[in-house]
Structure 1
Amino acid sequence: MRGEQNIINDLKNWKELIKPYATPEVKLARKEVWKTVLPFGLLFIAAAIVYEFQFWGALGICFLAGLFLTRIFIIQHDCGHQSFFPDRTKNDRTGFLMSLMTCIPYKYWARSHNHHHAHQGQLDTRTIGDVTLLTVREYNELSNWGKIKYRIYRSVPVMFVLGPIYYIFIHNRIPFIKFKGWEKERLTLLRTNLYLLGFFAILGVILSLPSFDLIEGFKKLALLYIPILITFAFTAIWFFYMQHQHDPNYKAWKEDWQYLLAAIKGSSYYKLPKIFNFFTGNIGYHHIHHLAPKVPFYKLEKCSKENPIFQKYVTTITLLSSIKYAFYTLWDEENYRMITFRQLKTIPVKA
């Protein structure tokens, strides 16, 4: 397509443009850790104190703590890309510590997510690190029961209500990926489950003080931390999900797939208020992140502002406009677009 060729021509030197920003800095990274983890810890302590007097007040604090947990996850996410610190050991240690709070297994999730980066928008590979997406042809070839299951799976209640709960408490607790070569990552997931049991056992004991009522301590822990986790999971899933569901978009089979186009057209620029950029770790600059995951999140905004060429071809979405993308469920290969089930009715079924 002519438009795609323009992107290739205008961004042929994208690696040179990106290079100055793909430089993690220890001082900046530590600053991000402190202004993220410290408020989260203080909010959790505040919620535990308020809980003794009013549960609903504590729940409100947990909602804010959940937003900070989203930011903690972005730190873990960058560590998985080896882009948060310049040193691998610091990245891995920090990523592991963050995973105890997010309950997302560090090594296992990082490999899955890096697979997503390497194959995003590639129709041959839609099984790891991404939401299942069918083409119109594939959907039409399903049995009636298969179509019902796919519609349920891609429905808003499943994606954004049941999905976050499943993602935290089941998907990231069981090593579903059985491919050869993933043995080490599967083992680290199981080990992470044990570490989490120890971590939350300690928290439960601490919350049982000074009465030493363990049942009450663990009840308090569940009533406070589960809402935090669900707030985080919903926020993370919404923002990661939306940035690949927009239209226009880019999907291609492996033989025609191009990395540059998958990043610029297959990812969006989520234009968010500053407060949302803070809590989501600038993940709204998703096109730049997919183009160069080695750029730490604390340099994405600067990279975007100093290189407006990256915004020339990307699909820009906002909080309001992105709502409609929750209903985009199929890839229409014939017309090169994402569509809804309602739009599917207007497409004639080929014999």
Structure 2
Amino acid sequence: MFTSFIPYIGLWVLMYFSLDWSYWITLSLALLNAFFLVRIFIIQHDCGHQSFLKSKRWNNVVGFFCSFFSSIPYHYWATNHNFHHVHNGQLENIEIGDIKVATVEEFRSYTPMQRFGYRLYRMPIVMFLLGPIYYILIVNRLPFARLKGWKQTIIDLIPNNLVMAVLYVGLAWFLGWKKFLLLQLPVTVLFGTIAVWFFYVQHQHEHTYKQWQKNWDYLLSAIRGSTFYKLPRVFNWLTGNIGYHHIHHLSSGIPNYNLKRCAKENPVLQKYVTTVGFVESLKCMFHKLWDEEQQRMISFREFYRRERQLQAA
């Protein structure tokens, strides 16, 4: 916590003074600070899994505190995310706590407008820039996800939103609206982009795992349905080792600071996982549809090429 919050606050203050020098310097500092915000969010994430600390009470206190930095409500998001863990890769439940994926057959049955909407949703500029903004400002402010037994979770969203609104309005009043937006907006947007990108790479790789619930297997969903995102050590540190995502899905009770150790002490966990480096991960942007027949993600181009071949035959 010390190595996450202190640098974040320090860089935020430095960003404030850099406004008198050059906004390009401010944006450069914002990019670095976005990674520290990711690190703070990983603490919140682990608290939501009740794994960061031994005490449930303190996990909730720390997680709730982190939410005022990340702008993502603690209890509501944690409930959505835990649902994702229990149903990771299930095609029936893909829209709660996960990125929507259409199967080839579903996309084939779409109307022209539905296809347009889905293609727009899967565009990189929407998925990694506009999407994170919408996710933080709208999706996590309003209880779109409503399942049985979630009443208290939805109620908890109200005080979280109110306290966050008071905090942000207070900062904007103290610093001035313009300065506050020039400082907070780029950090939040960059944080959202980084977070969504990591989540995307970890579950949208070519040979991921997607099954209907009747055929679904928890072990396969963890090992095959997640990646080991192999990055330089500094980025593993900045992102709370979330690159070891297969281990995290295998057991969400392992805190981020023990994931690397777990991988080292249990080499079998690294044997069957899909390992992805940064350059290789860029190819994931072309993965748009789940092909049940081939059990792999395909691009729109591949889909339409096959459609033309079928029509010609």
* TM-score relative to the length of structure 2: 0.95
Which residue of the other structure, out of 257, 260, 264, is the alignment partner of 1:305?
A: 264
- Indicate the residue corresponding to 1:173 in structure 2: 141
Which residue of the other structure, out of 227, 230, 233, is the alignment partner of 1:268?
A: 227
Cα distance in 2, alignment partners of residues 134 and 295 from structure 1: 31
Which residue of the other structure, out of 212, 218, 223, is the alignment partner of 2:182?
A: 223
Cα distance in 1, alignment partners of residues 115 and 295 from structure 2: 21
Q: Which runs of 4+ in 1 moved over 6 A?
A: none
Report whether the alignment pairs 1:73 with 2:32.
no
Q: Percent identity?
A: 47
Cα distance in 2, alignment partners of residues 53 and 156 from structure 1: 33
Cα distance in 2, alignment partners of residues 85 and 179 from structure 1: 28
Check the 8 A contact 2:129/2:189 in 1, yes or no. Answer: no
Cα distance in 1, alignment partners of residues 139 and 194 from structure 2: 17
- Indicate the residue corresponding to 2:10 in structure 1: 42
The Cα of 1:205 is off from its aligned counterpart by: 4.1
Cα distance in 1, alignment partners of residues 196 and 110 from structure 2: 27
- Indicate the residue corresponding to 2:30 in structure 1: 62
- Indicate the residue corresponding to 2:285 in structure 1: 326
Report whether the alignment pairs 1:149 with 2:117.
yes
Cα distance in 2, alignment partners of residues 107 and 138 from structure 1: 33
Q: Aligned runs of 1:48-197 on 2, under 5 Å?
A: 48-197=16-165
Cα distance in 2, alignment partners of residues 330 and 271 from structure 1: 24
Which residue of the other structure, out of 224, 239, 245, is the alignment partner of 1:280?
A: 239
Cα distance in 1, alignment partners of residues 147 and 18 from structure 2: 47
- Indicate the residue corresponding to 2:200 in structure 1: 241
Check the 8 A contact 1:164/1:234 in 2, yes or no. Answer: yes
Q: Tell me the alpha carbon deviations over residues 2-56 of structure 1, each in whole angstroms, 9 at most, x when there is no partner.
A: xxxxxxxxxxxxxxxxxxxxxxxxxxxxxxx000001101111111122233332
The Cα of 1:57 is off from its aligned counterpart by: 1.8
Three-state SS of the structure 1 residue aligned to 2:93 is coil
Check the 8 A contact 1:248/1:337 in 2, yes or no. Answer: yes
Cα distance in 2, alignment partners of residues 200 and 144 from structure 1: 42
The Cα of 1:298 is off from its aligned counterpart by: 0.3
The Cα of 1:59 is off from its aligned counterpart by: 2.3
Report whether the alignment pairs 1:314 with 2:282.
no
- Indicate the residue corresponding to 2:209 in structure 1: 250
Three-state SS of the structure 1 residue aligned to 2:275 is strand
The Cα of 1:61 is off from its aligned counterpart by: 1.5
The Cα of 1:204 is off from its aligned counterpart by: 2.8
The Cα of 1:296 is off from its aligned counterpart by: 0.2
Check the 8 A contact 1:249/1:266 in 2, yes or no. Answer: yes
Cα distance in 1, alignment partners of residues 208 and 27 from structure 2: 38
Aligned alpha-carbon RMSD (Å): 1.5
Check the 8 A contact 1:247/1:315 in 2, yes or no. Answer: no
The Cα of 1:201 is off from its aligned counterpart by: 2.8
Cα distance in 2, alignment partners of residues 334 and 239 from structure 1: 27
Q: Tell me the alpha carbon deviations over residues 137-191 of structure 1, each in whole angstroms, 9 at most, x when there is no partner.
A: 1110111111111111111111012111111111111111133322211222222
Cα distance in 2, alignment partners of residues 55 and 315 from structure 1: 40
* TM-score relative to the length of structure 1: 0.85
Q: Tell me the alpha carbon deviations over residues 219-250 of structure 1, each in whole angstroms, 9 at most, x when there is no partner.
A: 21111001110111000000011110112121
Decide which structure has the larger Cα Rg and report it: 1
Q: Which residue identity is paired with 1:95? A: G
Cα distance in 2, alignment partners of residues 335 and 201 from structure 1: 51
Q: Any unmatched runs of 5+ in structure 1? A: 1-32, 208-216
Cα distance in 2, alignment partners of residues 149 and 200 from structure 1: 33
Three-state SS of the structure 2 residue aligned to 1:266 is coil
The Cα of 1:192 is off from its aligned counterpart by: 1.4
Cα distance in 1, alignment partners of residues 22 and 245 from structure 2: 39
Deviates more, 1:33-42 or 1:182-191: 182-191
Check the 8 A contact 2:229/2:275 in 1, yes or no. Answer: yes
